[in-house]
């Protein structure tokens, strides 16, 4: 295996605009870096599921079984629409303390972490991506290709969490804009639009 090439390719793919990184950014901006980082941990944990699917061959079965793929895709679309509905309950104007927009009572690690996992697991595009991406870096002549897939999955997860956490911190720095009512109004609709846009793109794929 060529680990250097794999890491470079993984970083490039993670930085490409997509559902996961867009959601981490919007949550970090609207609710603070703790929210973005917690969701990122869930998203990356979901990659364990996809790595296991590829290693065991189940992912290939899903790819070749059209009705099962469609069921998973529709479940993912429904969940994204549900998240968009929850986003409509968010703030349209700055809270009283615009710098500290999250409170202890609002923050729930378990709920946010599970949300990240669910978003990742219900995204069949991630499974297809892993099916197309990981095997290309596996030496089929090696004694244990399954172990290689697991190692590659772990490497991908490691670089993804580093990037997601970095993005969360950078997005959180936009906190100086949080005192502007217009910024919150735009962000309110942007967050809903991102979730619904992701759902539509997933549905049309």
Q: What is the mean pLDDT of residues 143-148?
A: 81
**Per-residue pLDDT tens over the stretch 66-89:** 887 788 778 777 877 877 787 777
Structure tokens at 13: 């793919």
Residues in the chain, how many?
205
Pure H helices in the chain: 3-15, 19-31, 33-56, 58-64, 66-87, 109-121, 124-133, 145-172, 181-204
Q: What number of other Cβ atoms are within 10 A of residue 67's Cβ? A: 7
pTM here is 0.71
Q: What number of other Cβ atoms are within 10 A of residue 136's Cβ? A: 10
Inter-axis angle of helices 33-56 and 145-172, to 10 degrees? Answer: 170
Q: What is the mean pLDDT of residues 101-107?
A: 53
**Per-residue pLDDT tens over the stretch 148-170:** 888 999 999 999 999 999 999 88
pLDDT of residue 46: 93
Domain ranges for the chain, please list them. 3-7+19-204
CA atoms within 13 A on the CB side of 128: 14
pLDDT range class, residue 97, cuts 50, 70, 90: very low
Per the prediction, the chain carries an average pLDDT of 78
pLDDT range class, residue 178, cuts 50, 70, 90: low
């Amino acid at each position: 295996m060529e680990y250097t090439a794999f890491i470079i390719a993984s970083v490039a793919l993670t930085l490409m605009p997509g559902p996961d990184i867009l959601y981490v950014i919007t949550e970090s901006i609207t609710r603070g870096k703790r929210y973005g980082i917690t969701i990122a941990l869930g998203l990356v944990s979901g990659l364990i599921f996809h790595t296991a699917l590829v290693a065991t061959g189940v992912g290939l079965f899903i790819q070749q079984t059209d009705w099962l793929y469609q069921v998973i895709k529709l479940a993912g679309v429904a969940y994204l629409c549900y998240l968009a509905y929850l986003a409509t309950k968010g703030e349209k104007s700055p809270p009283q303390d615009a710098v500290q927009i999250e409170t202890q009572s609002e923050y729930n690690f378990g709920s946010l972490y599970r949300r990240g996992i669910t978003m990742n697991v219900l995204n069949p595009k991630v499974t297809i991506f892993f099916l197309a991406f990981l095997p290309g870096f596996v030496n089929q002549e090696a004694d244990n290709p399954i172990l290689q897939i697991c190692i590659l999955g772990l490497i991908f997860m490691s670089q993804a969490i580093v990037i997601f956490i970095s993005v969360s911190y950078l997005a959180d720095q936009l906190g100086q804009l949080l005192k502007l009512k217009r910024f919150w109004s735009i962000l309110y609709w942007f967050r809903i639009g991102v979730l619904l846009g992701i759902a539509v793109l997933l549905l049309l794929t």
